[in-house]
Amino acid sequence: MATALADADESILITPAELHGILKSPIDHENRVVCIAAGRNAASASFESCHLPNSVFFNLDEIRDTTSSYPVMLPTCQVFTAAMKRLGIRATRGDTFIVYDTVEAGIYCAPRVAWTLAHFGLKNVRVLNSFRQYVQDGYPHSSAPFPPSAKPDDATPMYRVADAARTIAFEELRRCVLEGCRQYQILDSRSEDCFLGKAVGDGHIPGALNVPVACLVDSCKNLLPRPEMRATLEDAGVDENKPAVLSCNTGVTASILWLALKVAGYDVKARLYDGSWSEWKDRAEEQGLIVCHRDLL
């Protein structure tokens, strides 16, 4: 944890150079920068060998709704609060949170964790673009062990959902689709093959637009800058004036779409479909609610 951002660019993204400048400055305990490594179980070994100094690891496989049959669903308020206690994070008004992925991933889970922090009301959340670039640029990193779990702090408040409308449940989305989904555009971040349903169990929600994650990052796996991002979204048919539902396979890469819309400057209401394709393919029973490539031939 280091001194917080003062006059930094208000973009949700932070560059390696900008972050390095912050981390090398004197520590300000009143205005901290909290670095959060984002990933799943498979990322643990990578983060242990290479991470930002004094980071904590937000493991999506652990900080989730354990009552759901679907993977990495949003945690309950109780689960999220307990996780923040274990990580030793007691958010204050002056804190800034920097979320980042593994060197290998570039941009992948960090947007999901950033979205989750904002979902529970944390302010000043930014995503490093990217830790891979940070390491390639020669900035210092660490292989020291992550801090042990913090002792429970009874003073840590219970976190609450800041805005329930930032998500959309299956039942509401199903109703919208059956009615023609005129009020939303549905954006799907999965690969084209998955979207078209070339394998058994794949396909897409009727009316959805395919915006694959691979199109939103460059060859170094950094998120595209604004001009290129706008062009990519326009090419995919995304309407910058229409509210969007964001979907993927399990709700993780749909959060990259959320970040991409912000980077592009699209000021639209975006709602995350947390269950995404994993839930839709299981529960969309009516004929016509699943589109696959055979229907397109």
Q: Which residue has the higher pLDDT, 5 or 129?
A: 129
Nearest-5° angle of CA 33, CA 37, CA 42?
A: 175
To the query of whether residue 248 is one of the catalytic residues in this protein, the response is: yes
Query: Helix, strand, or coil here: 151?
Result: coil
Token pair listed for 249: 């396979």
Q: Which element (helix H / strand E) includes 131? A: helix 131-136
According to DSSP, residue 285 is labeled -
Q: How far apart are CA 266 and CA 268, in angstroms?
A: 6
**What CA–CA distance (Å, rounded) separates 82 from 156?**
9
The torsion angles phi and psi of 46, rounded to 5 degrees, stand at -65, -45
Pick the CATH number of 164-295 from 3.40.250.10, 3.40.640.10, 3.90.1170.50, 3.40.50.11540: 3.40.250.10
Pairing mode, if any, of strands 2-3 and 32-39? Answer: antiparallel
Burial class (CB in 10 A: 0-12, 13-18, 19+), 79: middle
Catalytic residue among 35, 176, 248, 292: 248
All structural domains of the chain with their residue ranges: 13-137, 164-295
Class of domain 13-137: alpha beta
pLDDT the model gives residue 61: 97
Two domains, one topology: 13-137 and 164-295: yes
Note the pLDDT tens digit of each residue in 71-96: 999 999 999 999 999 998 877 777 89
Alpha helices in 24-148 (DSSP H): 44-49, 77-86, 110-119, 131-136
**Is the pLDDT reported for residue 110 higher than 60?**
yes
State percent of the chain over pLDDT 70.
93
Biggest CA pair distance of the chain: 62
For residues 65 and 75, give the distance between their C-alpha atoms in angstroms, rounded to a whole number. 4
What's residue 297's pLDDT?
Answer: 46
pLDDT > 90: percent of the chain = 78
What local confidence, expressed as pLDDT, does residue 95 receive?
87
pLDDT of residue 283: 95
Task: Give the residue carrying structure tokens 């994650």.
Answer: 213
Listed in sequence order, the residues at least 6 apart from 215 whose beta carbon sits closer than 8 Å to its beta carbon are: 232, 236
Cβ-Cβ contacts under 8 Å for 152 (sequence gap 6 or more): 85
Greater confidence (147 vs 227) lies with 227
